[in-house]
Amino acid sequence: MNTFNNLLAQLQGIVGAEQVLTEGDLTAYEQDWRKRERGKALAVVRPASTDEVAQVVKACAAAQVSLVPQGGNTGMVVGSIPDTTGTQVLLSLRRLNRVRAVDAANLTVTVEAGCVLQTLQEVCEKEGFLFPLSLAAEGSCTIGGNLATNAGGTQVVRYGNTRELCLSLEVVTAQGEVWSGLTGLRKDNTGYDLRHLFIGSEGTLGVITAATLRMYPLPASQLTAFAAVPSLEAAVQLLGLAHKYLNAGLTGFEVMGDFALSLVRKHFPQQTVPFAGLSPYCVVLENSDHESESHARAQFERLLEAALEDGCVLDAVVAENLAQARALWHIRESIPLAQAQEGLNIKHDISIAVSRIPAFVQETDALLEQHFPGVRLVNYGHLGDGNLHYNVQAPAGTDAQAFLRDQEGAINALVYAMVDRYNGSISAEHGIGSLKREKLAHHKSPVALNAMRAIKRALDPKNLMNPGRVLSIE
């Protein structure tokens, strides 16, 4: 008790008493976004500078108290909340949120970890640039969280994951030292590239405090189309045509199953979903053009003509203006929220070679229907990246909590066995957290797991950084 009291007093001295929260409603910090779990923090600590983060980490390390870094707490795999012991410090990075510099000639922006993604997008746009990372949680997720999870989102098909957008990092190590690596260099072959260790490490190796990220010139036009397709095979065929006709202009290609869209229609009836019930799948795709809007429209017309002729599109609309484009994207982005409103659910964020996705879905749908009659399959995602959100909702009218308790293990086992058969990944973009930790141990090669454990032990020998997440080192 004394250790904890001494530590709390030290932390108050570092960040100010009002930034060490131990009382009141801490739900926003202690409960995960999907409401799967709730933890209890020793304290929520809110530093405002890299130096304060370093001092907090040092104090916790000296007291042997573990830390859970947290940004916007929008993660999907229970990685950003404390455990239930009441002995972990929840390190909220949200006050560390400055945009430090925009370097127009270098096409880079240097930003602190707690900056909200949408804020960064807006800052870059004001300067005439695009920061292309885009996801439905962009109004609350943070750059630090995006880096720590290597977030994907809806523009990966053109710009890559967060990893590809990051040139350099500033990190507070598990010992409380500051690694200032913010060079903004595109080429730097001076040994191991430490940046790539921290990206995707989900807070288990150190605290990301700032990053230098790539920006791109703003396109002259961004056009969105929404298309009804007769099958998943047809969606893959359309993707091939989109690559051919739009080339680097293809900046988004998302697929949505009809049941996923029906949940949007049910929970957000104010939204107009085109082609309701017309086809088993719809696709939303985006063409970014650096010439002009008319050039982009002409390209889209050629693509859709070819697709209609080939039979891989049944019908399509192209947004006439920005408001319509936003409304079409909003349909896609509303699926996770509609799914959450429908009740607790099982998420499978999987990736499989694009060419094999239709066969995977056909086979796995049939097995799930056979073994778990009545389950509702909520299938949507980033088809352009081979990343499906192949989710399962309890049968209509059943108690979702009881269904998950009784069936989640068996459903996961079935789906992940199929993912293995198709040589895919059990986590494409959401990470591992604690929700998938045991599964990782079964689905990743022992050689890779041993290398990961060796890295964890080397960088965090006391196991104080987000322990129990990603992998167990015992």
Cα separation, 134 vs 141, whole angstroms: 10
Cβ closest to ligand MLT, residue 266 vs residue 457: 266
Binding of residue 153 to ligand FAD (CB under 6 A) = yes
Are 120 and 109 in contact, with CB atoms under 8 Å apart?
Answer: yes
DSSP state of 460: -
What is the number of other CB atoms lying within 10 angstroms of the CB of residue 87? 15
Binding of residue 36 to ligand MLT (CB under 6 A) = no
Cα separation, 34 vs 341, whole angstroms: 10
Residues 453, 456, 461, 463, CA torsion sign: negative
Binding of residue 141 to ligand FAD (CB under 6 A) = yes
Stretch that binds ligand FAD, among 19-27, 119-127, 308-316, 428-436 (CB under 6 A): 428-436
Stretch that binds ligand FAD, among 17-25, 57-65, 100-108, 141-149 (CB under 6 A): 141-149
Binding of residue 144 to ligand FAD (CB under 6 A) = yes
Cα separation, 386 vs 421, whole angstroms: 15
Q: Binding to ligand MLT (CB under 6 A): which residues in 381-410?
A: 381, 389
Alpha carbon of residue 451 to chain centroid: 24
Q: Binding to ligand MLT (CB under 6 A): which residues in 424-463?
A: none
- Binds ligand FAD (CB under 6 A): choice among 55, 80, 108, 351: 80
Report, in Å, the least distance between residue 62 CB and ligand MLT: 38
Binding of residue 176 to ligand FAD (CB under 6 A) = no
Binding of residue 151 to ligand FAD (CB under 6 A) = yes
Site string for ligand FAD, 310-349 (x = CB under 6 A): --------------------------x-------------
What is the number of other CB atoms lying within 10 angstroms of the CB of residue 380? 24
Residue (of 364, 206, 219) closest to 291 by Cα position: 219
Cβ closest to ligand MLT, residue 31 vs residue 463: 31
Per-position DSSP letters for 102-145, written without gaps between them: EETTTTEEEEETTSBHHHHHHHHHHTTEE-----TTTTT-BHHH
Residue 389 binds what, of ligand FAD, ligand MLT, none (CB under 5 to 8 Å, by partner type)?
ligand MLT
Report, in Å, the least distance between residue 136 CB and ligand FAD: 4
Binding of residue 69 to ligand FAD (CB under 6 A) = yes
The H or E element that residue 212 is part of is: strand 206-214
Measured between alpha carbons, how far apart are the two ends of the chain, in Å?
26
Report, in Å, the least distance between residue 129 CB and ligand MLT: 24
Chain position whose Cβ is nearest to ligand MLT: 336
Binding of residue 364 to ligand FAD (CB under 6 A) = no
Q: Which residue has the tokens 């989102």?
A: 153
Are 315 and 240 in contact, with CB atoms under 8 Å apart?
Answer: no
Report, in Å, the least distance between residue 306 CB and ligand FAD: 29
Site string for ligand FAD, 194-213 (x = CB under 6 A): --------xx---xx-----
What is the number of other CB atoms lying within 10 angstroms of the CB of residue 47? 27
Cα separation, 267 vs 259, whole angstroms: 12
Q: Binding to ligand MLT (CB under 6 A): which residues in 112-141?
A: 136
Cβ closest to ligand FAD, residue 145 vs residue 249: 145
Cα separation, 34 vs 257, whole angstroms: 21
Are 69 and 112 in contact, with CB atoms under 8 Å apart?
Answer: no
Report, in Å, the least distance between residue 336 CB and ligand MLT: 3
Residue type, 2: N
Cα separation, 2 vs 190, whole angstroms: 45
Strand 216-217 to strand 206-214: parallel, antiparallel, or no bridges (unpaired)?
unpaired
- Binding footprint of ligand FAD on the chain (CB under 6 A): 33, 68-76, 79-80, 93, 113, 135-137, 141-142, 144-146, 148-149, 151-153, 202-203, 207-208, 336, 429-430, 433, 466, 469
- Binding footprint of ligand MLT on the chain (CB under 6 A): 136, 335-336, 347, 381, 389
